[in-house]
Amino acid sequence: MLSDEALQEIEDHVYILIVSQQKEHRRMLAAAKARVHELELEINRLVDAIAHIGFSEALKERLRSAETERTMLVAKQYLKKPTSISVQKTEIMQRIRVKLPSPPP
């Protein structure tokens, strides 16, 4: 059986890992939001170009590509929601404790 100190060390490492994952998620989310904004600006410019100079296959393809990328990024943002640290940490520690042998009587 692990000592209380060893369990606390495991719990601390679990917490650090979860916080790290959540920071990475926030960083990726911010980057995706920035890219979506860039794509929306590009889409607006492409639509303006089509309205101003007329339709072309090159503009059509660039517009379709930008819209597809924007749709994919927006969908990914809503699919990956991190769970709360306390829930994950508690659940993981319970799983660890269940797998540990019972103390001798």
**pLDDT tens digits along 7-53:** 788 888 888 888 888 888 889 889 999 999 999 999 999 999 999 99
Asked, for residue 71, whether it belongs to a domain, the answer is yes
- Is the distance from CB of 92 to CB of 14 less than 8 angstroms? yes
Which residues fall within 8 angstroms of residue 98, CB to CB, at 6 or more apart? none
The overall pTM is greater than 0.85? no
Asked, for residue 104, whether it belongs to a domain, the answer is no
Asked, for residue 45, whether it belongs to a domain, the answer is yes
pLDDT at residue 28 in the model: 87
Gap between the Cα atoms of 94 and 88, Å rounded: 10
Asked, for residue 97, whether it belongs to a domain, the answer is no
The three-state secondary structure class of 54 is: coil
Asked, for residue 94, whether it belongs to a domain, the answer is no
Per-residue pLDDT tens for 40-97? 999 999 999 999 999 899 999 999 999 999 999 998 877 666 555 556 667 777 777 7
Give residue 101's identity as a one-letter amino acid code: P
Asked, for residue 102, whether it belongs to a domain, the answer is no
pLDDT at residue 90 in the model: 73
Its domain, for residue 79, covers: 4-88
pLDDT at 104 over 60: no
Asked, for residue 73, whether it belongs to a domain, the answer is yes
Number of domains in the chain: 1
Asked, for residue 96, whether it belongs to a domain, the answer is no
pLDDT at residue 47 in the model: 94
